[in-house]
Every structure is written in structure tokens, then in C-alpha cells.
Amino acid sequence: MPNTRSAIKALRQSKRKNRINLKRKEAVKDVVKEIKKLVLAGKKEEAKALVPKAYKAIDKSSKTYLHKKAAARKKSRLMKLINKK
């Protein structure tokens, strides 16, 4: 347990940032999983319709916890998957 006021505040901020990061991480994971499921089912057009939603989630997560190049890599691999089949 933190002893000083600044440590108490730092813990509070850390918990808040953790909640935000987890929410964004799950948003990316969910939309990518949905796109992969649609691609495997052969529904490319529906998968392409979800791409803007995926890009938005990835871009938002790259503002906080995800590295910029990792975000670019995720977007690139996602489009490669959709265009492959």
C-alpha cells in the first residue's frame, strides 16, 4: 500500500490507465477476431466493411499502449489476410 500522497495518486492513475488500455486492447482483439472469422467463412465483403472499425481501434490503441510500427504491422497483416483469399 502506498504511503505518500503522491504514491497514492500514482496508483490511482495507474489503475485508470490500465482499465483504458485493457478496453482498447480488447476492442482491437475483438474486431480482428471477427474479421478473421468472416474471411475464413468466405465473406470478404463483410470483412472489408469492418476494416474501418478495425483501423479506428488500432489507431486509438497506438496512441496509448501500442507502438506505432506495431499498429502499422497489424493493419498491414489484416489487409493482407483479407486480400489473400
State pLDDT tens for residues 51-79. 999 999 999 999 998 999 999 999 999 99
Would the pLDDT of 39 be above 90? Answer: yes
Q: Is the pTM higher than 0.95?
A: no
74 and 57 in contact (C-beta within 8 Å)? Answer: no
Candidates 34, 36, 41, 37; CA nearest to 80 is 36
Would the pLDDT of 85 be above 70? Answer: no
80 φ, ψ (degrees, to nearest 5): -65, -40
Residue 1 has a pLDDT of 83
Domains and CATH numbers, the chain: 5-84 (1.20.58.110)
